[in-house]
Amino acid sequence: MIQIISLLLGSLFGGGLYLAGMTNPKKVLNFMDIMGNWDPSLIFVMAGAIPVAVIGYRLMLCRAVPIIFNSIQIPSIAAVDARLVIGSLIFGVGWGISGLCPGPAFATVLIQPQVTAVYLVALIAGSLAYKQFHR
């Protein structure tokens, strides 16, 4: 049951990325290129996604436990620290170089492997490198 629901949520996410145009790295880079051929479409992705997610979050807060799992596991750290800012800074540079963040990279691995496969290998390497350095 959990697996099927998870498959469904992943399908919604992947279908949404594809429909939204986020699976096209050029479109993502054009969104960031505010001084060039700016394509503001991705603002509409956020504007579509966030209100729906807010409702889900609020409904979750109304319950003692989620519907499927038996406990809520939402990050509870509140402090903004250097790791958060430096990590996000590094992420932004990588995103701006490639036009790909993790979700769209997975969503396109079968569609445009010539672009995505090498990126995914490097993505996994970066994630594992973090694990090595910060035990």
Closest CB 135 distance from other proteins, rounded Å:
12
Residue 113 Cβ, how far from other proteins at the closest point, in Å?
9
User: Residues 29 to 68: which contact other proteins by CB under 8 A?
Assistant: 29-30, 32-37, 39-42, 44-57, 59-60, 63, 65-68
Q: What residues contact residue 31 under an 8 Å CB cut-off, 6+ apart?
A: 38, 39, 40, 41, 42, 43
Site for other proteins in 96-135 (CB under 8 A): 96-103, 105-112, 114-115, 118-131, 134
- Cβ atoms within 10 Å of 103's Cβ, excluding its own: 15
Number of chain residues interacting with other proteins (CB under 8 A) = 115
Q: Which of residues 3-22 bind other proteins (CB under 8 A)?
A: 3-22
Q: What angle do CA 126, 130, 135 make, to 5 degrees?
A: 155
Asked if 27 and 39 count as a contact pair (C-beta separation under 8 A), the reply is: yes
